[in-house]
Amino acid sequence: MKFASIRLIAIKAMVGFYEMVTLQSAEWLAPVFAEIVTPSATLAIGSVETVSLFREGSAEAGSNRTAIIEFMVNDVDAEYIRLKNKVDLVHAPKLMPWGNRSVQFRDPEGTLVALFMPFTDPAKKRFASR
């Protein structure tokens, strides 16, 4: 099994937000569906109209408070400086107990987004093969 993507059901403005965060351009595969492809995974964004293709009401934009979308970056502090005045900041860069240095903010619909870098030697070792 290969993990392929995370899909958000969201307003179209979310595509621009994630293009700003990732510095990647989205590929629009349909007027209601775009993908932002990174070297390790894809963030898919479908409009609320796509929900009816599955089962009406099976997903709802702006209602998730349990997920964190994480991106590994080379320099958390540089990304923080680049984004801090453009995002709804949750916390500035800090060392997490599992060895990553992380910054968190919310996307326009409230989903937590974390940018992190392995910081301690054990964390660097853990991510060396990923």
pTM for the model: 0.88
Average pLDDT, the chain: 91
Confidence of residue 20 (pLDDT cuts 50, 70, 90): very high
Q: What pLDDT does 17 receive?
A: 95
Q: What pLDDT does 100 receive?
A: 97
Confidence of residue 60 (pLDDT cuts 50, 70, 90): confident
Residue 24 and residue 15: Cα distance in Å, rounded?
10
Q: What pLDDT does 10 receive?
A: 83
Residue closest to 70 by CA, chosen among 50, 32, 48, 96: 96
The torsion of the CA quartet 97, 109, 16, 41, rounded to 10 degrees, works out to: 50
55: burial class by Cβ within 10 Å (0-12, 13-18, 19+)?
exposed
- Contact predicate 35/7, CB 8 Å: no
